[in-house]
Amino acid sequence: MNGRIVDLFREMQRIRIFEETVIRLFKASEFSGFLHTGIGQEAIAVGVCGSLQAEDWLTATHRSHGHLLARGVPMHLLLAEIYGKESGLCEGVAGHVHVADMTRRIVGGNGVLGQNQPIATGLALGLRLRRESAVVVSIFGDGTANEGAVHEAMNLAAIWELPVLFVCERNEFSELSPYTSQFKIKSVADRAAAYGFEGYSLEGTDVEAVGELVQRLTSKMRRGGGPALVELRVVRWHGHYEGDPQQYRDAALRPSADPLQLLTESHPELLGQEVRESILTHAREEMEAAIRFARQGSHLDPEALFARAADTGVPP
Amino acid sequence: MNGRIVDLFREMQRIRIFEETVIRLFKASEFSGFLHTGIGQEAIAVGVCGSLQAEDWLTATHRSHGHLLARGVPMHLLLAEIYGKESGLCEGVAGHVHVADMTRRIVGGNGVLGQNQPIATGLALGLRLRRESAVVVSIFGDGTANEGAVHEAMNLAAIWELPVLFVCERNEFSELSPYTSQFKIKSVADRAAAYGFEGYSLEGTDVEAVGELVQRLTSKMRRGGGPALVELRVVRWHGHYEGDPQQYRDAALRPSADPLQLLTESHPELLGQEVRESILTHAREEMEAAIRFARQGSHLDPEALFARAADTGVPP
Amino acid sequence: MSTSSSLVPGTVLKKYRVAIRDALAEEMTRDANVLLMGQDIGISNGLFRLTEGLYERFGPERVRDTPISETATVGAAIGLAMLGFRPVVEIAFSDLMLTCFDTIVNQLAKLRWMFGSQCPPLPVVIRALTGAGLGVGSHHSQSLEALFAHMPGLNVLTPATSADAAGLLKGAIRSSTPTIFLEHKMLLRDSSPVTPGEVRQPGEAFLTRTGTDLTLVGYAYTAKLALQSAVELAAKGIAAEVIDLRSISPLDTDTVTTSVLKTGRLLVIQEAYKPFGVGAEVIARLAAKNLGHLKAPMDRLAVPFMPIPASKALEQFYLPSVSKVTQRAVQMMAA
Amino acid sequence: MSTSSSLVPGTVLKKYRVAIRDALAEEMTRDANVLLMGQDIGISNGLFRLTEGLYERFGPERVRDTPISETATVGAAIGLAMLGFRPVVEIAFSDLMLTCFDTIVNQLAKLRWMFGSQCPPLPVVIRALTGAGLGVGSHHSQSLEALFAHMPGLNVLTPATSADAAGLLKGAIRSSTPTIFLEHKMLLRDSSPVTPGEVRQPGEAFLTRTGTDLTLVGYAYTAKLALQSAVELAAKGIAAEVIDLRSISPLDTDTVTTSVLKTGRLLVIQEAYKPFGVGAEVIARLAAKNLGHLKAPMDRLAVPFMPIPASKALEQFYLPSVSKVTQRAVQMMAA
Ligand SMILES: Cc1ncc(C[n+]2csc(CCOP(=O)(O)OP(=O)(O)O)c2C)c(N)n1
Ligand SMILES: Cc1ncc(C[n+]2csc(CCOP(=O)(O)OP(=O)(O)O)c2C)c(N)n1
Ligand SMILES: [Mg+2]
Ligand SMILES: [Mg+2]
């Protein structure tokens, strides 16, 4: 149990370091494209993904670094993908927004919001048909909840009683617009009743509470239960993308509390300065090694794209 | 008020005669295509459409004869469209499934389920921008409620507080499948809370009750109120399409009560035999004239399709 | 498409509709990972009875009714495929595939390519009814093969005979490439010979009639029209060679090239909208080759560039027909 | 696309991005029925700053932020158009239009044709960012014009210059035909001359450079590539004629025909997937004419038939480029 608190802290610290570092590297133009980070949302990634079993499946978002890292992806493989290198998780072909690691049962981000939720229901159906007790966790942002695909997926999961935990990462923004411009309801969790399952809303900064709820809900599913929806509330720290001027942002809406600090405050005895410094040092070391790895790698030989196409059945 | 009861009966009778007759004509191969009728669902059509004002808008369904007739469309124009004649509402080009009468502010059926609900929100937004007090009624079947488009439209109506009355014509079937195979929730009206407006569920056989509810809800909207959802419950009398063998149909699920008979029973004094027979005779006369009209008309000159294309901006 | 009773030994005469149903049953028997999903395909046998008897035979887990949620259905099929299943989705009208178009062309078609070999093949087959002729109007009659064939990552098949319906469907279910399988409404009741168990591969056009004067290219219903027109043309002394493309992606233009090198004339017949369609692609591929002097410009016969009218009379005016093909062929001969 | 400072009198130099914004503002000023809808187009000015300042100028009723619900947004635009409004919808990436593809091609494009003259024109303009070059991968970089141009009922426009961005957009807003207006991401910062107030009509290709040896046809970003390549080719003694299509539907192939009759060689350059694309349609139309003997087969230069890779290096390999165009043109001259 005590080890667990330290683990939670360690995983959040890894994500924090990773996000801080990619922001720095992005500003230094080490890689191109967009960059969405989940800095400040580490308790969601770790609380949710840290509660899963190896055989469970995860669908992540366009803001997925935390989800992937918390699910056990090593920093260097993720960073190499962001750099577009052959040594990356998808050989640099998918890139930051779509990065996946199916060896760890992570379907990954999706460039088209809402499209991962139907896929999650299919995974869950497959697990049930195979009589496996694994579950599927499908994360999406608050703004994404208004895509038609999400609605269809939730109803499908409900009527087929599929083991999907829908996790809404509510960070109060949909790209450059506030939650209140997208919803009339107080909580996205209110959507669950529209399909006939349960919805929960929780602070997304308390990693322990998040983990406990996810544990409780997924263990019901492992015993044959149907879907559930959890809204996890934070307030986005940075812009939608790094570099976002955020002139739309209401100054009154303060970034949510630091989940690392909250955990430290609840467990001062376990997370003393020495422990935290050692964790930080390790995270920095993993990060430094990841940067060396990503920089050093080369791009996929472009000709290999054709082999990939043939291999994946893309007709000529 | 007494006149109103007779009017309600008359409108339902018109629809009943129309549906009975088109079924007979269809069996006699007088026209081709599919045929979906709303026989037995007359109280919904009349209760809803009879409560609207001329300046209101309606979006109907693929089962829309009743909706159109109750909104004042003469039988002959509708029948001629079903016959594919130039004298039909859309000159035979749209056909039974898609028939519209925009002169009466009826956007019509839609071949693609769910696609009318977003259009309804746009109409409602336009009315509000023009500072008009008219409302939009958007009817859809129970099965259609699980289309993503419906979800997106309901949320849009909610956040923009648009005067859309969503009417779910719940007839217990989605094509060839029962309600219970499509929903885990007891009532489609439960969906309203997911967007932040009110949902109501009512027997769809009591034309007076339907009319009163629609009156009440639309008059709130005329004064600036936002959307609402009404589920109107019936049990489909016939197959999904005429000729449907319905082997899927649970015999225990009896067709819902006859709305004409129910109204007669509640108002024996107003709807005596003589009154009813006179109404029936008039309905039959309108029907007979409509058949003559539809048969007599010719098809649009095919070359006129090109003019229509040019006129409607379809580039060559 | 022949209804001749002199069957080649080892073949059986089957309706196109039944050939599809039987192919599904055979693949489900052969491979427990094959399962069907779609609206009303279970106890109701599907709107066009294309899954008749399969629910009784394979049960509700493998013949699964879906709600009216095409996006969720196709998305779920992708998830199932990621776990090793081979889902076959039925969409009763190909027009309705446009409600889940992103799921098909941005997700199903691309995900494996994007993720690489860590992602298993996604052998989803989407079967949909295509084509006009029933008088059911603009939203239930379109021929949309070009939309799917423009996008990488999908095979797009358009069988015209029972043998192709069965053989190509079996091939599609076993293939590692996702497939759009378009079944033409007006062919459902046509009977033609099928070799039981035969599996056919995509990407091979089929020479259905030899001739020397001009090449008629069709697919799905227009393959039938072309063949019927060739009979009319023969009576006029014109020997038309007829090719059934069968597969729109991959597209076999070698067979067409060989034929056009011989005949010097090409007419591609399609029920789809003309611009950016199958005829355009076939002709552009041939134009890029050094075919030398042709006897007439290569051309296309398609529908007018407008939606499909519901009225039966207007629909007939709108659609290609045997006589329209014959007339155009005669014009090409005269040119 | 010239950045020359010697402006024609009466024109002003403008960034493509600004030309679009100004055209919107002008039309909104001219016609109170014009209104804008899209994600984050209001106070945030749009993801690519294409509506900068319009929210302050025209207020929230006419510059309306929408939730992440593309289907509802485009559907709502249809409803507004039925009441006489002229909605201009922004979708930040054209790839995402596939989530509302039915609403665009089955509803917006067809309804007025289906209903007839009882239905008013539906002058909805959908503006979307198109094209690759930012390294943002398979779901945010596609060129999908052919998908829309295959379907009747839509104009499809692909401006390459500020003057076309402004003029064609103004024309589209005033047109009674719904329009898909594709703005190329890599052109947003290009400056070129604009005649204030000018309105341009769809369906006219533009001869951007005259030459006698071969015809290069491009549109949007490839129109720029073609022009740049023509400069390289001139240095090699090859006189390329360059045509910017500007409008994919309607498609002006007369201008191309005239040019090819002169040069005898045609290369169509597209950033889109090759099969069933713009090159196919252009070539098929020319093939149907009696062009006589060409000096080389008409051909297309497009991307490999696969999704777009995210990695910048792979993306550069994948995309057409000036040197690829030049190389292919040199080959055609040698053939
Ligand atoms: C279908 C679709 N619409 C729009 C976009 C553009 N887009 C990318 S991220 C984003 C905001 C998503 O907001 P939310 O779901 O709350 O996730 P967050 O970014 O806050 O994590 C938008 C609109 C998209 N990728 N896909
Ligand atoms: C998007 C879409 N999916 C499927 C269909 C085929 N279809 C036509 S009517 C129908 C049943 C609709 O059921 P419901 O909404 O309950 O209306 P009802 O027929 O009962 O009036 C179906 C599935 C369609 N037209 N559009
Ligand atoms: Mg958010
Ligand atoms: Mg129903």
Q: Classify residue D195 by burial, with Cβ atoms within 10 Å: 0-12, 13-18, 19+.
A: middle
pTM of the model: 0.98
In this chain, the answer to whether the domains covering C12-194 and C206-334 adopt an identical fold is yes
Inform me whether the C-beta atom of residue B175 falls under 8 Å from chain C C-beta atoms. Answer: yes
CA of D18 to the centre of ligand 4 (A): 50
Q: What is the model's pLDDT at position A313?
A: 61
pLDDT of A315 > 60? The answer is no
Q: What is the pLDDT of residues C255-284, one digit of tens each?
A: 999 999 999 999 999 999 999 999 999 999
Counting as contact any 3 or more CB pairs under 8 A, the partners of A are B, C, D
Residue B316 lies in a domain: no
Token representation of residue B70: 């109750």
Model pLDDT for residues D223-238, shown as the tens digit of each residue: 999 999 999 999 999 9
In 3-state terms, chain A is what percent helix, strand and coil (to 5)? 50, 10, 40
pLDDT at D1: 41
Q: How close D155 gets to chain C, by Cα (Å)? A: 13
Q: Which residue's entry shows tokens 């129970």? A: B142
- C318 touches D: beta carbon within 8 Å: no
pLDDT for residue A316 is more than 80: no
What integer pLDDT is reported at residue A312 of this predicted model?
65
Q: Is the pLDDT reported for residue B312 higher than 70? A: no
Long-range contact pairs involving A306-309 (C-beta distance under 8 Å, separation at least 24): A306/D304, A306/D306, A308/A91, A308/A93, A308/C113, A308/C116, A308/C117, A308/D306, A309/C113, A309/C152, A309/D304, A309/D305, A309/D306
Q: Average model confidence (pLDDT) for chain C?
A: 96
Determine whether the shortest distance from the Cβ of D71 to ligand 1 is under 6 A: no
pLDDT-wise least confident of A72-76, D7-11, D194-198, D327-331:
D7-11
Please indicate whether residue B144, judged by its CB atom, sits closer than 6 Å to ligand 2. yes
Q: How many CB pairs (< 8 A) connect A and B? A: 71
Burial of C100 (0-12, 13-18, 19+ CB in 10 A): buried
For residue D312, give every residue at least 6 positions away whose Cβ sits within 8 Å of its Cβ, in sequence order, or none.
A31, A32, A33, A84, D135
pLDDT in tens, A22-71: 999 999 999 988 899 999 999 999 999 999 999 999 999 999 999 999 99
Q: Are C321 and C315 in contact (CB under 8 A)?
A: no
Identify the band that residue A120 occupies on the pLDDT scale cut at 50, 70 and 90.
very high
| Lookup: tokens for B140 | 């859809």
Angle between helices B259-266 and B42-49 (to 10 degrees): 70
Confidence band (pLDDT; 50, 70, 90) for B172?
A: very high
For residue A231, what are the domain limits? Answer: 2-311
**pLDDT, tens only, B96-126:** 999 999 999 999 889 999 999 999 999 999 9
A153-168 tens-digit pLDDT: 999 999 999 999 999 9
Contact B181/C at CB under 8 A? yes
Reported as a single tens digit per residue, the pLDDT across C168-188 is: 999 999 999 999 999 999 999
Q: Which of residues 117-176 of A touch B (CB under 8 A)?
A: 146-152, 155, 158-159, 161
Q: Which of C11, C6, C9, C13 is nearest to C191 (CA)?
A: C13
- Least confidently predicted of A231-235, B17-21, D291-295: D291-295
Higher pLDDT, A250 or C145: C145
CA distance D175 to chain B (A): 8
Closest-lying ligand to the alpha carbon of B144?
Answer: 2
User: What percent of chain C clears pLDDT 90, i.e. is strictly above it?
Assistant: 96
- Closest residue in B to D113 (Cα) is B312
Q: Which pLDDT score is estimated for C1?
A: 41
**Band of pLDDT at residue D8, cut at 50, 70 and 90:** confident
Q: Kindly state the percentage of chain A with pLDDT values over 90.
A: 93
Contact criterion met (CB below 8 Å) for B172 and B146: no
Distance from the Cα of D181 to chain B's closest Cα (Å) equals 15
Cα-to-centroid distance, C190 and ligand 3 (Å)? 54
- Spacing, Cα B139 to ligand 2 middle (Å): 13
Q: Tell me if A173 CB under 6 Å of ligand 1.
A: yes
Q: What digits encode the pLDDT tens for the residues C292-312?
A: 889 999 999 999 999 999 999
Distance of CA C330 to the CA centre of its chain: 27
**pLDDT tier, B309 (very low <50, low <70, confident <90, very high otherwise):** confident
Architecture of the structural domain at D12-194: 3-Layer(aba) Sandwich (3.40)
Going from N- to C-terminal start, the domains of chain D cover: 12-194, 206-334
Above 80 in pLDDT, residue B316? Answer: no
pLDDT beyond 60 at D41:
yes
Axis-axis angle for helices D16-30, D162-174 (nearest 10): 30
Chain D, nearest residue to B314 by Cα: D153
Gap from CA of A41 to ligand 2 centroid (Å): 42
Q: What is the pLDDT of residues B253-304, one digit of tens each?
A: 999 999 999 999 999 999 999 999 999 999 999 999 999 999 999 999 999 9
Atom of ligand 1 nearest to the CA of A144: 15
Mean predicted confidence (pLDDT) in B152-159: 98
The pLDDT value given to residue B3 = 86
Task: Tell me if A234 is assigned to some domain.
Answer: yes
Residues of D (289-308) whose Cβ lies below 8 Å from A: 304-307
> Once rounded to an integer, what is the mean pLDDT over residues A195-222?
98
Q: In this predicted model, which residue has the larger pLDDT, D290 or C37? A: C37
> Which chains share 3+ C-beta pairs under 8 angstroms with C?
A, B, D
Higher pLDDT, B312 or B2: B2
Q: Is the pLDDT of residue A314 over 60?
A: no
Which residue, B274, B258, B247, B204, is CA-closest to B19?
B258
Question: Average model confidence (pLDDT) for chain B?
Answer: 96
Residue D2, pLDDT score: 42
How confident is the model over D96-121, as a mean pLDDT?
97
Mean pLDDT of the C218-246 span: 98
Considering only the top CATH level, what class is C206-334? Answer: alpha beta
pLDDT above 90 coverage of chain B, percent: 93
Q: Name the nearest CA neighbour of A205 among A25, A39, A19.
A: A39
Mean pLDDT (chain A) is 96
Cβ–Cβ under 8 Å, residues D210 and D304: no
pLDDT of residue A4: 94
The predicted pLDDT at position C286 comes to 98
Tokens 């005469």 belong to residue: C13
CATH code for position B218 = 3.40.50.970
B87 CB near a chain C CB, below 8 Å? Answer: no
Cβ–Cβ contact D118 with B under 8 A: yes
Q: What is the pLDDT of residue C3?
A: 44
- Examine residue A316 and state whether it is found in any structural domain, yes or no: no
